[in-house]
Structure formats: structure tokens, C-alpha cells
Amino acid sequence: MGNYPLILVCLRHSRRHLVRTLLLIFGIAMGVAGVVAIDIAKTSVEKSFELSTRELVSRSTHQITGTGLTIPQDLFTDIRKDLGIHRSAPVISRHVKVSQLGDRILTLMGVDPFSETHFRNLHISPGKQDLSGIMTGSDGVLISRSLARQYNLDIGSPLDIFLGSRRTPVTIAGFLDSENSSAGRMLEGLVITDISLAQVILEMGDHITRIDLILDGDGPAEKIQDLIGEDLFLVETDQQNLAVRGLSQSFETSLTAFSMLALFMGIFLIYNTVSFSVTRRHRLHGILRAIGATRSNIFFTVMAEVMVYALIGSVFGVLLGILLGNGAVQAVVATVSEMYFTLTVSQTHISGFTIAKGLLAGILAAFVSGFFPALSAAGTRPVSLMHRTVSEKGFNRVVPGLFIWGLLLLTSAGLLMRTAPTHAGSDFTGLFMIFFGAALLTPLLIRILVRIFLAAGMGALGMMVKMALRNIIRSLRQTSVLMASLMVVTSVYIGIEVMTGSFRLSIIQWVDDHIGGDIHVSSADLLARSLDPDLVDKIRHLPQVTSLSAYNIHPVFSRASGKVHLFSYQSDQSVKRWSWTAAPKEELDALLEEGWIFVSEIFARQHNVMPRQGAAAVLETQKGPVSFKVAGIFRDFFMGGGRVVVSPDTMARYWGHDDITALQLFLASGTPPEPVINTIRQMLDPKDMIEIRSGNAIKHSILAVFDNTFIITSALQVLTAIVALTGILNAVTALLLERTREIGILRACGTLTSQVRQLLLHECFFYGLLSGIMAIPLGTALSWVLIHIINQRAFGWTYDMVLTPGVFFQAIALSSAAALAAGIFPALAAGRTHISTALHME
Amino acid sequence: MRYLCVISFCLAVIFPALFVWGCAPPDNTDRIDIARALSNNQGMDCYDTVTGPEPLVFPKDAGPHENFRTEWWYYTGNLTTDQGRHFGYQLTFFRQALSCEPVKEDSQWRTRQLYFAHFAVTDTRNKAFHTFFRMNRGSLGIAGSLAQPFTVWIDNWQVKETGSHLTLDALSDEISLSLTLTQEKPPILQGERGFSRKGPGTGNASFYFSLPRLHTQGFITLGGNRFQVTGNSWFDHEWSTTVLGEDVQGWDWFSAHLADGRDLMVCRIRKADGTSNGFGFGSISFADGNYVILSETDFTLTPKARWKSPETGKRYPVQWQIRIPDHDLDLSVSPVIDNQEHTHAFAYWEGAMRFSSPGVQGMGYLEMTGY
Amino acid sequence: MSDIDKSFDDSGSRRVIFRRASARFPSGRTSVIVGKSGVGKSSLLNLISGIDLPDKGFIQVGDHCISTMNDTARTLFRRRHIGFIYQFFNLIPVLTVLENVTLIAELDKVPQKICRRRAEALLDQAGLRDRRHDFPETLSGGEQQRVAIVRALVNEPDLVLADEPTGNLDQETGAKIMEMISGLARKKNKTLVMVTHSPDAAAWADQIFSVGSGILTPMDPATHG
């Protein structure tokens, strides 16, 4: 018998059950969509990063930067004239806000057009005005044409550039155009002008931000090293990009983890859907076998059909994923910009690879998912010998075996995560093994749980409950797949919820411990950072101020992690509760005075400071690189490349700062901070760039950043819910379909429509409830993995896992509700069962 | 005579540089209308203009004249090694003022002076022509010029007066030039004591002087080999503001060091129809340093054969016949190699030439623009 | 005690099963319906039980005209007044023998004690006492059918409908089942309507109807088979 007529039969069968077929396709589509959406978000961030850095950092191989993130401009003349390195470009670059451009954070970049030749390709369309005027003194800037169009601006339109609170009016002198779209997107985040005007706007004095270089070989690099001395750094661009990139990349790693979760869910759902669709054909296959189809005929027919739907579903999934991905991109880019690096590009990047990955995920998952059902379909006995329970009996026999395999998988996953903790690939393998292992445990667990339920007297709740529970065990082969999927989805929900919840709690704790002051006063002037001692004195003597902490924050450049903030507490009245991740020696303060340092977790990780006593870290000082002993590593959520606490003496000795750059004020309890802030504002010279914020405002803004960061995870949760609902709907529909005959009997015997519906809803509820219960340990394990392995790697932060019963109740409620919701439609349909037809189904 | 050349450079090179920060060759079509820009004298009122002869004073006039819009220092020469291997070189510095208004002094990067330079070496034996381009602002000492000691530089390309000599240094990645130039003849004040008319309009003129023969010795490094060379160089220094007359298409400028000690310069300015605009000029300097100024009626320039640039498609007349009957000169002029075209933002041809007549041989340079 | 009077009509573009067919099954008697497959024997039972509705005509069971009731009323009527026995036993696989038997009563909120007592009494009679906590899958065909009979009778229905009750059983077991059905029916004075093509079954009949060409034709039980 050729396969073609069989496929035709199956496709006809599908057409007759159009809704179910559509659900199958939709199930596959949702799985694929999840994968594609997350992947798009991830690759877009990657691409944005690449564009934002590489295009701006340009083709340079090296950069010269300074400790204070500025360098003297004369250095450029020396490099050009004395060293003759003409592939060098001075750059001034800082983030500003432009009120006419929606207060977006843009990069104001000052360049020397004549040095740019080797570095960047910027195409400019000038207005009538001569652009060279910018060099002599006009206030023209260039922005991308598309950005201008978005805000209805034209050449000649005025812009107000804000650096902190300082406003500089400028004029659009021309547009930046681009040949290709990626460069075009990069341009949208830029305001470009001549280096002279940028220097004025950004108050750089006679400094610039950096010099980009293209160096061949080591010779020129050595010459530059000799020229710049110890104060400045010659950094290989790749290396420096890597430092920043590394931070963001780890964030993307966590996204990858999420995309893997989405893929797992996808695979489960697809398996679910496919295996149900095959089961539904049981009788059809029996008839076909009876009339002479071979096992392989059936196998190939089933596979062929599954693959047809897989293809259709995957294509739809990719489209849907692209749609969802668009939203995810915005969220992710916002996060990365907020935390690591202002991405000037925030366009969705959809690579062929992503699409291929999505398609492949769908098709492969469908193949794998279809394989075993197809195999079992091939094993269908001819119709006359068919008995429903045969396959169930066979399945029942393998349940304990599955359980053992599940345990083995879980154990090896645990071992893998413990012993190979440095490789992302092993994490994902581990995650997959956990999910798969847990799924293998489900049949036995379900059986045990149902027995417990029945034994605990749930049977007494009525015949319906009893029937519902027993039905679950009776169709264990299918219900366990359904419930395993639901369990996986619910556990992802728990995992994310626990992770974000714990994280948030830790952050609140940290904010309370470290940003305890009621008012924070700090210098916003990058170049003249110190606060006027008179001002400090005046503030100290304000009647409302009970005590005051003064400290110096000094940003230094680190080869390993980019910008590192050095803190030295000149007078510390605040009660800080340090959370030490590496047990510190007792006489901490004494050690600090002796020149030891405390470092934050991120710093420790970036600098490979091992969490043990006697570790040392190298910091760039005025005297060159110096190795400091690390007294302790503290938990810290400070953004950027990490934080180092040094004593005021150390700060003065190695960085030459003994001034105060920031204050924390403690007010008498009950004093509102706003009037005090106003009083301090009045003390200031309007030219001072000093930021005054209340502790509350800081706390809120930190939490806002945090919440922003996890928008994407919330989005994932929503996606999870959608995927779960679809999958369950499909599975429940299929499962309940099998009850048709039984429902017929019940109805014939006098069971009311409403009672039949009740029965089905009971069953659904128990699917959800059991899945929810099983999801609790899995979800907890998952959150452990997310917190202690993936997130730590991603952000460099550790925090304690906080488990609240609320999350578990929520999860159980969620899965039960999802299952119930999925059951509504099939239950309604079942109520309408045509009894006589149902009775004669077999 | 490089007036046109400079203006065109300014328009075609600087502006595209502002428009296209990058090495992609600009396509000028919708970016710049040279003619319009040239006739646009808006904001030019505050520049000094060249309207009549003024006495040139040295060393002051060797240096920059920042209140004129355009200025250049132009070194070309033919050099040979002991073994007779021939090289041609060109090192030219241009200054272009961006504005005659005073500069806002809030940043030291501000400037109104822009410098750019061309550096070329013709390797006759390998039939290779190497050309390089630099441009930068006259800020922070990155580029600039001084009268005393005379210096002009961009980055580490520079010509500097040291004692009685000039040292000339230029290097790119693969080629470097390090020469000492010694003046052998007094300057030629071109035109009317340095006042050189280029067109019929008022101000269509420049101040122009030449050092016709600079004995040159030094080193050329090329492809890792260092060659000791000697030869002669020609130097022009010219400044102006509103040089171009209407309807000018380009020019053909020749300089030659003849074996009999005479040094020749002739130039014609072409209109759009290819004919001369009547303001051609030239000079002959004799072995004793005396010179005569030539006007267009004193010489004829006849193109003989053309060479088509494979890169730009332009067809340059690279073979010429120069006749100066009064001085008994009938010179066949041919390039040492055909391809000596500069293909930076603004394409032109400038290269080492052989001059020969029945009586006398010589080496020199030819510059052709507007083809 | 109950008197059945019905006439019905099925017309339309589809297959016509009954055309103005009518019959009357006297109460307390056993009626057997015979006919070829596909002529509508099972449909007839469905109509009588209110599972299906006729397109025209009316069906009356006792004093109740079930063809005019709504679905819920019909279901409740079926639950309380009609017992059903099927060819394929149709027991609920996830319920034990006892639970299968008491299911309907429990759904009807009959106190558990009462329905258990009734069920156990009937199971005793059917010789299934020892198996009352077993699941149907573990029973033989005959045992399953006995459970089904007990289930049909446990609610003291007025009318028992049997659709080929012996069709899936061997001859010997079938005979025992027939004996049990009719025995119980007679003992409790139930009206029994049975569809069958078993000649043995026909022997138990008080009255035989033949279904064919859309009508029911009464036959003499003696002449049949």
C-alpha cells in the first residue's frame, strides 16, 4: 500500500476535525513564536550593541582613555605631530538629553571631521548654511534625518541640549544620512557636531574624552605608551568593548536561558499536541491496519502529516514570534541601556538565523514529538482487536522505569550544574535535563498523588470527583504528557516569580542598607567633582540635619570591567549593613586603614578576585597599576563595572583625592526632606552642577530601573500563560474527546448535561491542581538555577532565594485556572454530546 | 598657477570631507555645485583681496597670509639615485580659510584655517605612482604655517627652514621622503612684481612667487628600500581670495629645469570651450638667476597625445609641444609614466615630465586640471 | 401499570427510518423487537428513552409524554423511570461494580445508604456480591452484562430497554443473561422492551414486533423463530 492514499485519508480526517487541526497548528506556532520572540529580542540587543559600539568606536584598534575618563587634548597634537600616527581621531562623547527630541538620551559626539576619514562613515546633507561654520563658532549640530522627521524638525530648527540641568541652545545644521539601514539606526541615537562645539557644550575645558587609533603592530603602541605615561591608558578597543560587552552579554545570557525555557515549553506543547492528535486517530489507524496498511505505512503517514502541520505551524509561529519579538526588543533595549550602555539603536533585528532556528525548533520538536506517537500508531492493532486500554496497560508497565530514568536525569543535571559551573552550554543542557527528568517523573507522581487524594477522602466529595481522579490515572499516558507540560509552564512561572521577587527584596534591602540617608548631595560635574568645603560646612550646620556622611566617589577606568567607582568615606555616620559574600576578617576598619580594600561582587568577578582571604586586586592608580589586598567582598547592586571601597588615606595617596564629592544627610526623624533640599538649593551658585535628591527618590528610581529590567521577564510570563493556555486547550479538547462514549453512557443513564460538564471541569481542575503541585518543587529548583547559576553569571549579583507560600498558591491557582479555562469550551461541547452517536462510536 | 586648483580643492575636497566623513569616494552630484559656490561671494567681504601689486617682503611673505582665503606652498621635483634611477615627487600644502570672521574662542579646537596636503612619488622604473592626502584643521598645532622660521605642516608632513636649508619630510605607511633643499636662485616674483592676473575681473589675481631651482638631496624610502637621491625642485607660493574669472574650466601648468641652467614655467587657463582665456603666464629664469616674465603671447602649448585614466575615465593630454620662439625653445614634453593622476576627492593629473628639444634636455612637472 | 402508546414519523431528505410507525408496548410485559441491521431498532430504543426526539409524532411513557419534555426533564425522566442495557455493557471503566450501579442514584441525590442497600441486594441476586469492589475491566463479559442489568434495575425503573443485551456474549452466557433479564422484569413487573436478533431471546417475549420499511409490525410470538 502506497503512503499517498493514507496521507490523503489522514488529511481528510484532519479537515473533518478542522478546529482540532487548527489547534495543533496553533500549538506548534505558539511554541515556535516563543523561541523566535526571545531570540529576536536577544539578537536585536546584540546587534544594537554591535552597532552602537562598533560604529561609534569605529574601526579603531586602540583607544586612549584616562582615569577620569578625560584626557588632555594636546596629546592628540603630540600623536599626530611627533609620533606621526595619522590614523587617530579625537572624540568627545557623552550622553545628553535633547528636549525637542522627546527627552531621549542621545550620545553627543564631538569629532574632528578631518580625522574621521579612517574611522567612521558619516554621510551628511548640509543645509544652506556652511557647515564649516561650526568650526569657527556657529552652533550647528547634525542629527539623523529620520530622527528629525520623527519629531518634525528641519534644518535650522533649534534644539536644547541638556547636560544635567545645563541647557545649551543649538541649531540643526544638517542631517546625517546613511547608505544602509543599520547605520541609519545607529545614527538615530546620535547628535554629532564638531569637536570644538562638543567641548563647549560638555564643558570639557581643554580635555577630550578619548582618542581613537588604528595601530599596526606593536611599535606605535609602545611609542604611545611611552608618550602617555601612567595616567592614561592605551586600551585595545576589542578588550574595552569586551568589558562593557561582557556585562550586557551576561544579561543576554539570561535571556538565552529564557529562550531555552520558551523552547522547552514549546517542545512539550508540541509533543502534547502531536501525541494527542495521533491518539485521536487510534481507531482510524486500526481500520487502516485491518485493511492492510503496514506498520511503516502508518508510521510514515503519521510523520508526514505531523510534519505538514509542523511546517505550517512553524511558519505561523515565526510570524507570530516576529510580532511578539518587536515588543520584547523595546523592553530589552531599554533594560540594557539603563544598566550597561546607552544603546543608540533600538531597532528590531531579525536575522535569518533566528527564523531558521524557530523553524527548526518547531519542525524538530514536532519530529521528536511525533516520532514516538507515530511509532505507537504503527503498533496499532487492526481494528477488530483494538482495545483502548491495551496501550494504557503497556504504558502503566513503563511508568516506574520512566521514574527511574527521570531520577537519573535529574541527578546528572544536578551534577552537571555543580561540577561544570562555568559554561553556559552546560547550564542549558542541565536545564533541559531538569525539565525532561521532571517530566519523566510525572506519571508515577500523578498516580501517587491521585491515590493520596483518594485515600485522603476526596472520593467522599462525590462520584464526580472520584471519576475525575480515576479518569486521570486511567488515561495516564496522555494526561501525564498534558500535566508535564502544564507543570513545566507553571514551574517557569514560579521560577521567574521567585527570581524577580527575591531579587527585588534584595535590592530593597540593599537600598535601605546602603542608601540610608534622607538626602543625597553629589557633584554632577565630571571635571570638578569636589564639593565646596564651605558648602559642606553650611549643610552640616543646618538645624534639620542631625548627622552627615561625606565621601569621595572617584570613577577610574579598569581594563577588566570598564568604569569602576572608588568610594572613600571621609566621615561616615550612616549605618551600613554590608552583606558580605566572602567572610571578612573581623577588624575590617583597621584593615581598610592599612590600605586594604573592599570590593563589590561584580568587581570581584570581573577581576577574578577569588572569594577567599588574602586575595588581591590590581587597580590603576596615579602611580600606575597597584595591587591591593582585598579584605572582603560585599554584595552590591551598584551599576557598571563594580565598586571598590578604600580608606580616605588610600584615596589620597593613590588617586590624589582628599576632597568630598558626595554627602548623605540624615534628618531628625519626621522631618520632610523637600524643604531641606530647597534650603540647600538656595545655598548653591546656579552654575554649580550639584545634584540633590531625596533618599526616597533614589530608592524609587533604582526600583524603577529594576522593574524595567524585568519587564522582559514579565512579558515572558505572559507569553508562558498564553502558550500554556493554548497547549492545554488543545490537549484537553483532545482528551475529552476520548470521553465521548463514556459521556454517552452517562447521558443515556440519566446524567444531566450540567453534571457531565461538571465532571469534565472537575477533571480539568485536577489536571491543573496536580500540575501546580508538581510544579512547586520543579519551580523551586528552577528558581535556584536562575538565581544561583544563571543570574549570578548574568549580573554578577547574588541574592538569597526567598520562597513565599504566596507564589506557590499563585502558581497552583494559575495552573488550575488555566486548566479550568481550557476545559470550559470542551465541556460545553461535551454537554451537547449526541448520545446515540456517542454510544455507537465504537 | 594653482589658483583654480586650490579653489576646486577646497570645494571638492574639503566640503565632501565635511559631507562624507569617510574614505568612500564622494559622488558630488547633489552635494555641491562648484560654480555656484565660486560665484557666491557672500561673507567674503572681510577677506583681503588681490587687486594690484604690493611689495613682497621676506621672510614675512614666506609665511601664511591668513586674511586671504586661499594659499599654498608647492614643492615638485625630479630626483635620481647614483645608479640613475628616477623618482618624481610632489609635496603641496594648502591653506583654506573657512571664514574671515573672527573665531569664537571658547574652545581651542575652534579655527578658521584648514590645511590639506598632497604627497606623491613617481617611481619611474616600476611605473608606479603613489599619492597620499592629508587634511586637518589649523588648531592645537596639528597643522599650520609660520613665516619665521618658515614652516608649514600637517601632522608629521612638514617643510621647515633650518639654517640656510629647507628640510622636507613626508611619510605614509609605505613611502617616506626626507629631503634637504638648498635655494640656488633668487625668487621669481611672478606677473607684475608678484601680482599675477588670472582673469579679467577685479580681484581675479593672486600674489605669486617661485623659487625656480632648489638643489635637492636626501632619501626616499619605498617598499622597505632606502634610496639616496639628488635633483632639483621647483617651489611656488601663492595666495589670493577671489581668484577665478567666469567660465574657467581648468589649466595646464608646466615647470622645467633645463640642462643648460634655464628654468621654465608656462601655464594657460582654459575656458569651458577648451580655448585659452588670454591670461596665460610664465617665466624663464636663466642660469645666473635673472629671469623674464612671459605672457600668453610669448608661447604656444599644443597637446599631442591623450591618455585615458582607467580609474576616472578622464582623458588627459599627456604629450605636449611647447614653443617659445623668442627663447629658441621648441620642447617635446612627455611623461615619465602615463598614470600620474591624483584620484582623491578631486581628480587631477600632476606628474614628472621629460622635456626635450634638439638643443636641450630637461626634467620638470606638468599639472592638468579640468579634464 | 404503565401503558405505552406512541406513533412517530421520521421524514426529510435523509434516510427515512420510521414513517408513521406506531406501536404500543403493554406495561409489565416483555416486548421483543426484531429486524435487519440498520432498519432502526436501536433508534427506536433511543426514541423511547428520550435520547432522540422524533421529527413528528409523540412518545408517551406511562402518563408522561416524553417527546414534549425538554432535555433536562427527559434526562431526569430517563434517570428515574428507564433502565438501559446495552450490547457493549457500557460500564464506566473508572468506577467499581458497586459505584457503577449506584452512580445514577447518587447523581439523583438518593441517600447513599439507601442506594447501597438496594444495589447490594440486586448484586446479590445477580451473584456479583464478591465482585462489587472490582473494576469492570476485570470482569468477564457475562459478569459485566449482569452489572449493567443491575445498574438498569437499581433505580426501580418502570421501563427497561435492552439493546441486543446478548449480542456480545456466547450463546450459553447469553441465555443466562436473558433468563436473568426477563426473570427480574417479570418478578418486579417491569415493562421490558428488547431489541435482539437472538431467537432464544425471542422465546422470552410476550410480544414481538418486526421493524422494516419504516413501520413496526406486530408478530405472533409463537410463529416467530
Q: Flag if A76 and B155 touch (Cβ within 8 Å).
A: no
**What's the rounded Cα separation, in Å, for the pair A665 and A411?**
53
> How far are the Cα atoms of A531, A694, B186, B306, C204 from residue A678, in angstroms, in the given order?
17, 11, 76, 81, 106
Q: Flag if A206 and B108 touch (Cβ within 8 Å).
A: yes
- pLDDT class of A255 with cuts at 50, 70, 90: low
**Interval A598-606 mean pLDDT:** 79
Closest CA to A753 of C48, C158, C79, C67: C79
Backbone angles phi, psi at A722, to 5 degrees: -60, -50
| Coil/strand/helix, residue A75 | helix
Q: Does B17 touch chain A (CB under 8 A)?
A: yes
> How far are the Cα atoms of A152, C106, C125 from residue C111, in angstroms, in the given order?
79, 7, 22
- pLDDT class of A15 with cuts at 50, 70, 90: low
**Interval A136-152 mean pLDDT:** 86
- SS3 labels along A556-592: EEECCCEEEEEEEEEECCCCCCCCEEECCCCCHHHHH
**What's the rounded Cα separation, in Å, for the pair A758 and C135?**
23
Please give the share of chain B, as a percent, with pLDDT higher than 70: 87
Task: Look at residue B288 in the predicted model and tell me its pLDDT.
Answer: 93
Mean pLDDT of chain C: 72
Q: Which residues of A touch C104 (CB under 8 A)?
A: 749-751
**What's the rounded Cα separation, in Å, for the pair A495 and A501?**
10
Q: Identify whether the C-beta of residue B337 lies closer than 8 Å to the C-beta of residue B311.
A: no
Where in chain A are the domains? 1-59+231-386, 68-220, 442-514+697-842, 525-688
Q: Does B42 touch chain A (CB under 8 A)?
A: no
Task: Look at residue B15 in the predicted model and tell me its pLDDT.
Answer: 40
A interface mutation test: which of B38, B99, B109, B153 has the most A CBs within 10 A? B109
Rank A311-320, A523-532, C37-46 by mean pLDDT and report only the highest.
Answer: A311-320
| Coil/strand/helix, residue A247 | helix
Q: Is A704 exposed, middle or buried (0-12, 13-18, 19+ CB in 10 A)?
A: exposed
Closest CA to B164 of B190, B182, B143, B139: B182
User: Which tops the pLDDT comparison, A182 or A355?
Assistant: A355
Task: Look at residue C39 in the predicted model and tell me its pLDDT.
Answer: 66
User: Which residues between 309 and 328 in chain A have a beta carbon less than 8 angstroms from any beta carbon of chain B?
Assistant: none
Are chains B and C in contact at 3+ CB pairs closer than 8 Å? no
**Strand pairing report for B347-356 and B341-343:** antiparallel
Among chain C residues, CA nearest to A759: C107
**Interval A76-98 mean pLDDT:** 86
Q: Does C46 touch chain A (CB under 8 A)?
A: yes
Residue position matching grid coordinates 599675477? B196
**What's the rounded Cα separation, in Å, for the pair A54 and A295?**
58
Among A315-329, B45-59, B332-346, the minimum mean pLDDT is found in: A315-329
Residue A232 has pLDDT above 60, yes or no: yes
Cα torsion angle, B12, B17, B21, B22, sign:
positive
| Coil/strand/helix, residue A78 | helix
| Coil/strand/helix, residue B154 | strand
Q: Identify whether the C-beta of residue B310 lies closer than 8 Å to the C-beta of residue B327.
A: no
| C-alpha cell belonging to residue A262 | 520558551
**Interval A438-448 mean pLDDT:** 87
User: Which residues between 562 and 621 in chain A have a beta carbon less than 8 angstroms from any beta carbon of chain B?
Assistant: none
Q: Flag if A133 and B98 touch (Cβ within 8 Å).
A: yes
- Chains touching C (at least 3 CB pairs under 8 A) are A
Residues 6+ apart with CB under 8 A from A60: A89, A119, A212, A213, A214, A237
- pLDDT class of B35 with cuts at 50, 70, 90: very low
Residue A597's DSSP bridge partners are: A630
**Interval A39-60 mean pLDDT:** 65
Residue position matching grid coordinates 512553524? A314
Helix (H) or strand (E) holding B90: strand B86-97
Q: Does A837 touch chain C (CB under 8 A)?
A: no
Residue A828 has pLDDT above 60, yes or no: yes
- pLDDT class of A326 with cuts at 50, 70, 90: confident
Cα torsion angle, A508, A509, A514, A517, sign:
positive
Instruction: For each of the domains in chain C, give its residue range(s) and CATH number, in order of start.
Output: 4-219 (3.40.50.300)
Q: Which residues of A touch B20 (CB under 8 A)?
A: 121-124
Task: Look at residue B364 in the predicted model and tell me its pLDDT.
Answer: 96
User: Which residues between 197 and 216 in chain C have a beta carbon less than 8 angstroms from any beta carbon of chain A?
Assistant: none
Cα torsion angle, C160, C161, C167, C171, sign:
positive
Complex confidence, ipTM: 0.85
Q: Is A651 exposed, middle or buried (0-12, 13-18, 19+ CB in 10 A)?
A: buried
Rank A275-279, A554-558, A629-633, B294-298 by mean pLDDT and report only the highest.
Answer: B294-298
Residue B21 has pLDDT above 50, yes or no: no
User: Which tops the pLDDT comparison, B77 or C74?
Assistant: B77
Residue B249 has pLDDT above 90, yes or no: no
Are chains B and A in contact at 3+ CB pairs closer than 8 Å? yes
> How far are the Cα atoms of A18, A21, B142 from residue A705, in angstroms, in the given order?
47, 44, 44
Residue B20 has pLDDT above 60, yes or no: no
Task: Look at residue C12 in the predicted model and tell me its pLDDT.
Answer: 43
- pLDDT class of A719 with cuts at 50, 70, 90: low
Alpha-helical runs (H) found in chain C? 41-49, 71-81, 97-107, 112-125, 141-153, 171-187, 199-203
Q: Does B111 touch chain A (CB under 8 A)?
A: yes
User: Which residues between 462 and 491 in chain A have a beta carbon less than 8 angstroms from any beta carbon of chain B?
Assistant: none
Among A269-273, B158-162, C161-165, the minimum mean pLDDT is found in: A269-273
**What's the rounded Cα separation, in Å, for the pair B48 and B51?**
9
How many CA atoms does the CB half-sphere of A825 hold within 13 Å? 17
Q: Flag if B136 and A115 touch (Cβ within 8 Å).
A: yes
Strands (E), A259-302: none
Q: What is the DSSP letter of B25?
A: P
- Cis check for the bond before C111: say yes or no (omega within 30 of 0): no
Q: Identify whether the C-beta of residue B20 lies closer than 8 Å to the C-beta of residue A122.
A: yes
Give the CA dihedral B267, B273, B279, B282, nearest 10 degrees: 10
- Chains touching A (at least 3 CB pairs under 8 A) are B, C
Over residues B260-304, the pLDDT tens digits come to 999 999 999 998 888 888 899 999 999 999 999 999 999 999 999
Q: Which residues of B touch A145 (CB under 8 A)?
A: none
Q: Is C13 exposed, middle or buried (0-12, 13-18, 19+ CB in 10 A)?
A: exposed
User: Which tops the pLDDT comparison, A1 or A143?
Assistant: A143
Distance separating the N- and C-terminal Cα atoms of chain B: 17
Over residues A562-591, the pLDDT tens digits come to 667 888 887 766 656 667 776 555 677 777
Where in chain B are the domains? 3-368
**Interval A706-711 mean pLDDT:** 67
- pLDDT class of C11 with cuts at 50, 70, 90: very low
Concatenating the DSSP letter of every residue in A181-226 gives: HHHHHHHTTEEEEEHHHHHHHTT-TTEESEEEE---SHHHHHHHHH
- pLDDT class of A167 with cuts at 50, 70, 90: confident
Q: Does C104 touch chain A (CB under 8 A)?
A: yes
Residue B100 has pLDDT above 90, yes or no: no
Residue A722 one-letter amino acid:
I
Residue A841 has pLDDT above 70, yes or no: no
Q: Does C64 touch chain A (CB under 8 A)?
A: no
Q: Flag if A463 and C107 touch (Cβ within 8 Å).
A: yes
Closest CA to A667 of A697, A694, A703: A694
**What's the rounded Cα separation, in Å, for the pair C165 and C177?**
8
Q: Does A86 touch chain B (CB under 8 A)?
A: yes
Minimum-distance CB partner of A137 among B104, B108, B114 = B104
Rank A632-636, B135-139, C189-193, C208-212 by mean pLDDT and report only the highest.
Answer: B135-139
Residue A146 has pLDDT above 70, yes or no: yes
Rank A246-260, A725-739, B171-185 by mean pLDDT and report only the highest.
Answer: B171-185
Over residues A284-310, the pLDDT tens digits come to 777 777 666 677 777 887 788 778 888
Distance, C-alpha C105 to centroid of its chain: 17
| C-alpha cell belonging to residue A99 | 528636549
| Coil/strand/helix, residue B76 | strand
| The domain made up of B3-368 is a member of CATH 2.40.160.20 | no
Q: Identify whether the C-beta of residue B318 lies closer than 8 Å to the C-beta of residue B348.
A: no
User: Which tops the pLDDT comparison, A449 or A478?
Assistant: A449
Task: Look at residue B191 in the predicted model and tell me its pLDDT.
Answer: 92
**What's the rounded Cα separation, in Å, for the pair C130 and C98?**
10
Closest CA to A568 of A476, A668, A444, A660: A660
Distance separating the N- and C-terminal Cα atoms of chain A: 26
Alpha-helical runs (H) found in A291-351? 295-339
| C-alpha cell belonging to residue B50 | 588681490
Task: Look at residue C75 in the predicted model and tell me its pLDDT.
Answer: 77
Cα torsion angle, A49, A53, A56, A58, sign:
negative
Q: Identify whether the C-beta of residue A633 lies closer than 8 Å to the C-beta of residue A486.
A: no
> How far are the Cα atoms of A465, A511, A650, C77, C157 from residue A756, in angstroms, in the given order?
12, 56, 79, 17, 22
Q: Flag if A200 and B107 touch (Cβ within 8 Å).
A: yes
Q: Identify whether the C-beta of residue A525 lies closer than 8 Å to the C-beta of residue A810.
A: no
| C-alpha cell belonging to residue A397 | 508497565
Angle at A822 between CA A816 and CA A826, to 5 degrees: 130
- pLDDT class of A612 with cuts at 50, 70, 90: low
Mean pLDDT of chain A: 75
**What's the rounded Cα separation, in Å, for the pair A730 and B361?**
97
Looking at chain C, the number of H-run helices and the number of E-run strands are 7, 10
- pLDDT class of A113 with cuts at 50, 70, 90: confident
Among chain C residues, CA nearest to A473: C94
Task: Look at residue A639 in the predicted model and tell me its pLDDT.
Answer: 56
Closest CA to B73 of B123, B155, B184, B147: B147
**Strand pairing report for B341-343 and A104-111:** unpaired
Task: Look at residue B257 in the predicted model and tell me its pLDDT.
Answer: 96
Over residues C48-85, the pLDDT tens digits come to 777 777 777 777 777 777 767 777 777 777 777 787 77
User: Which tops the pLDDT comparison, C122 or B176?
Assistant: B176
- pLDDT class of C37 with cuts at 50, 70, 90: low
